[in-house]
A = this chain, B = another copy of it.
């Protein structure tokens, strides 16, 4: 196998779920049958890695300073849903009929990993709660130990700002990750959210 070809196989292994055998199949497939789309993937991938940053308001992925969702006039401004990651935000958008705002932590409280309130942008969140528009803050962290601790901390922030914190209903399996929950379960849990304890 030529140097460039084995470099390509190796590089494809950065994709989650892709081992040596499927990386090789992908490389040969593109070279034999689909060079145009391979070139397009290279171009889009390069642009995405360089240009996608985070929205200055909600911290979700965005190539513009403020994302489309935050600048939309069609979204409810009284409800804010807090999630750990852009993946979780996408899962909620795709599974539920939620029409409010979001805030993305880009992590969860984890002192051992150096992730504290500053890294999660909680100063930005507090500022946002202080604007006075938000009435309910839906805490949609993952049901893991660190996610629960983060939720507890977030509920306190909300109450301090006079905002009602709510949690997703149980139904999301304990120890699981939101992005792997089936749409029906996630939609149900989202609809049955309750007051945070």
Residue positions of A touching B, CB distance < 8 A: 1-5, 7-8, 11-12, 14-17, 22, 24-32, 34-35, 37-52, 61-64, 67-68, 85-87, 90, 93, 106, 179
Given contacts A48-B5, A52-B2, contact A12 B41 (CB under 8 A): yes
CB pair A68 B37 closer than 8 Å: no
Write the chain B residue with the least CB distance to A44.
Answer: B11
Q: How many copies does the complex hold?
A: 2
Q: Point out the residues of chain B lying under 8 angstroms from A3, CB to CB.
A: 63
A interface, over-half SS: helix
CB pair A40 B25 closer than 8 Å: no
Q: Which of B12, B25, B38, B49 contacts A39, CB < 8 Å?
A: B49
Given contacts A25-B179, A29-B15, A68-B2, contact A49 B45 (CB under 8 A): no
CB pair A2 B67 closer than 8 Å: yes
Interchain Cβ contacts under 8 Å between A and B, 12 examples? A2-B61, A2-B64, A4-B47, A4-B48, A7-B48, A14-B40, A15-B26, A17-B25, A30-B49, A35-B49, A38-B45, A39-B49
CB pair A28 B63 closer than 8 Å: no
